[in-house]
Every structure is written in structure tokens, then in C-alpha cells.
Amino acid sequence: MRIKTKIINSKTRFLYKLLEHAAFWLTYFVLYIIYCNYNYNFEFSDLIRDNLVYISIDILISYLIITFTDKTLAKKRYFSLLVYWLMSLGIGILIYRVVFVYIIAAMFYHSHIQSFWDFNLLKYTYGLFFPVAMINIIHLIRKWVHSQREMYEIAKAKIDHELSFLKIQLNQHFLFNTLNNIDSLIYSDPESASQTIVNLSNLLRYSIYETNVRRVPVNKEINYITNFIELYELRLIKSDKIELKICGEYESLLIVPRLFIPFVENALIYGKKDDDSKIYISITFVNNKVTLCTMNQIKQMEYDKQGGVGISNVVRTLDLVYSQKYNLEMTNRDNWYTVKLTIELDNGENGEN
């Protein structure tokens, strides 16, 4: 099963945005034609023809400035943004003049302009600035509203994620089984029992107190997963049924807390643990990208269950926080259930906690 929600949503949003922008420019063009027809003595067909040329320039300059705005605001380069605005308006005014002299005046009205530079700069500036400023203001307002909505959705997803975690990862069966295993170890292997108590304490401390942030260092998440697997292995007769591999450098990376644990837990819960089967879990880091892979054999009757525990909340979090920066594949071939999740992570130097 391949996750396609992200792609479908992106296409739908793009089409919706395209229709919105088309509606804006059509409305602006119609209103401007009505205004000019009311105030100036021009043929209606000439107004439409001339202003179709001008509005093409407005659209070109508007989206050029929008592109500059998005790039410079993201990096907080406000002076560069002002320079881009002035340069773009200057280029737009120059194009306005070229179009008027060599196309509208010369070709449409067969008129010769004596001096190219003899024109009303204020009139040209106002004619270009008004539509450009209007579409950019609307764009910035929409980005702000979208940002506020996204922050709300992320906060809501985090709450859902935490509730899901409390119900699944820290459920009473897991705690009771772990405590019972510790109880049995106290007499047979006191040293292992002591270490298990430390692991359980670290797991609870991390999950309750150290994950109330948007990002955590990856090394803490790796330690958490390692502790979780070690505690789970207490329930197995042979601990070599679970193979965990961690490769690559990750000391400077940050990640959203508890993204991997639902996939790890699913592999442990639904993976077959007979003599011929094994559960494989690997986490690989290459530069700032991390790939989680889990492989486990499952019974056919349990296939529909696999992937249901906490996965929907994880996918929702991935869409909100790592949109366009992750890929998730879940497949079932010959009763081998495989998960492959790749994420482009934040660097600790510029990531946001």
C-alpha cells in the first residue's frame, strides 16, 4: 500500500489556487474596463484590447514579486525584499512604456511618439502599483491565515498523537507485562532487573516530560526506541527474534517526537515470532535524511490490523510538519509486511525546538 494522500491534496490545492487567481484577475479586469469606459471616451473594444496587453504585464510583475516575497520573507531579508520590489516596479514601468510606444501607439493607433522618455512617471507607477500591491497583500494575508491554521492543526495533531501514544505505547498491558517480567527477574537475575527498571524509568521520563516540544534531538528518539525494544524483548523466549540496525550520523538532527514508534510497535505486535521468522528494524541516516524500514512476517488474518495502530495520526503529522519532505510506503508481499519511511529532517543548528 502506497500513501498517495499527499499527492492528491497537492494537486487539488494547486487547481483551487489557480482558479482563485484567475477569478481575481478576471474581476479586476472587468471592473477596470467599466471604470475606464465610464471616465474616458474610448471605444469599448479598444479598451479591452489595450488593457489585455497591460494586464499581462501586471500579472508578470505581480508573480515575479510574489516569488521574491516568499523567498526573502522566509529568510527574513527585508532590505532585499524592498530592493526586489523597486527593481520589479522599475522593470514593469519600462515594459509599460515599451508596450505603449511600440505596440499600442505605433501598431494599434498608427501614432509616432516623439520622445520615449517623455511620460508621466507617477501615472505609470500608479497604474502598475495598484494591481501588483493588491494581489500581493491578498497573498500575504492568505499566507498568514494559512500559517495560523497550520499551527492550530499541528497543535491538534500533537494532542491526538499524545493521546494515541498514551493509549497505545503506555497501555496497561505493556506496563503490567514489563513489571511482571521485572518481578520474575528480581530473584533470577537481579542485575538485569535493575537495568530493566532503569530502562523503563527512562522510557517513561522521556515520553511524559521530554517530548513537550515540536522537535527533539534524534539521539533521544533513538534511545527511546532502543529502550522500548529491550523492554519488549523481555516477553520473548529468544531475544534474537528482533534485529535492530542503526547506521549513519545523526547527532545534529532534530525530529518530531514519537514518529517512528507506531511502526516499530506494529512490527513487534503483529510480527510472527516462531522459530523460522524474524523482525527486522533499521534506521539509516544519510546527510539530513533518515529512512526507517521495518519487515515482519504476519498471518494473513492479521494483515488488515497491521498499519492501523496509531498510523493514521502519524501520516497526519507527516503531512502537516514534513509536507513534500517525506515518502511513506507500506507493502505486503508473500505475508511479509514492509514499511519504508524516508524524511528530510531539520538540522540542529537551525531547527526549531
What's the CA gap between 64 and 50, in Å, rounded?
22
Note the Cα 117 to chain centre separation in Å.
48
37 lies in which domain range?
Answer: 5-149
276 burial via Cβ count (<10 Å: 0-12, 13-18, 19+)? exposed
What is the spatial distance between Cα 232 and Cα 283, in angstroms, rounded to a whole number?
18
For residue 165, what pLDDT band results from cuts at 50, 70 and 90? Answer: low
CA distance 297 to 242: 12
Tell me, yes or no, whether 276 and 190 share the same domain: yes
Give backbone dihedrals phi and psi of 317, rounded to 5 degrees, phi first. -65, -40
Q: Are residues 145 and 12 located together in one domain of the fold?
A: yes
In a domain, 163, yes or no: no
Q: Please tell me the distance from the alpha carbon of residue 92 to that of residue 113, in angstroms, as a whole number.
A: 19
Q: Predicted confidence band at 285 (pLDDT cuts at 50, 70, 90)? A: very high
Final residue before a domain boundary, out of 120, 149, 178: 149
Contact call for residues 313 and 157 (beta carbons, < 8 A): yes
Place of cell 529491550: 230
- Specify the pLDDT at position 2: 43
pLDDT by residue (tens digit) across 43-55? 778 888 888 888 8
CA distance 268 to 232: 8
Task: Please provide the DSSP assignment of 217-242 as one string.
Answer: EHHHHHHHHHHHHHHHHTT-S-GGGE
Q: How many domains does the chain have?
A: 2
The answer to the question of residue 155 being in a domain is no
CA distance 269 to 242: 12
223 and 120 co-located in one domain: no
Boundary-marking domain end, from 114, 149, 184: 149
The string of pLDDT tens digits covering residues 54-96 is 888 888 888 888 888 888 877 778 788 788 888 888 888 888 8
- CA distance linking residue 271 with residue 282, whole number of Å: 15
Q: Could you tell me the pTM of the whole model?
A: 0.51
Asked if residue 177 and residue 145 are part of one domain, the reply reads: no
Site of grid cell 526506541:
225
| Residues 11, 141 share a domain | yes
Please check whether residues 110 and 191 belong to one and the same domain: no
Residues 63 and 212 placed together within one structural domain of the fold: no
Question: Residue 226: which CATH number?
Answer: 3.30.565.10
Q: Which residue, of 99, 116, 149, is where some domain finishes?
A: 149
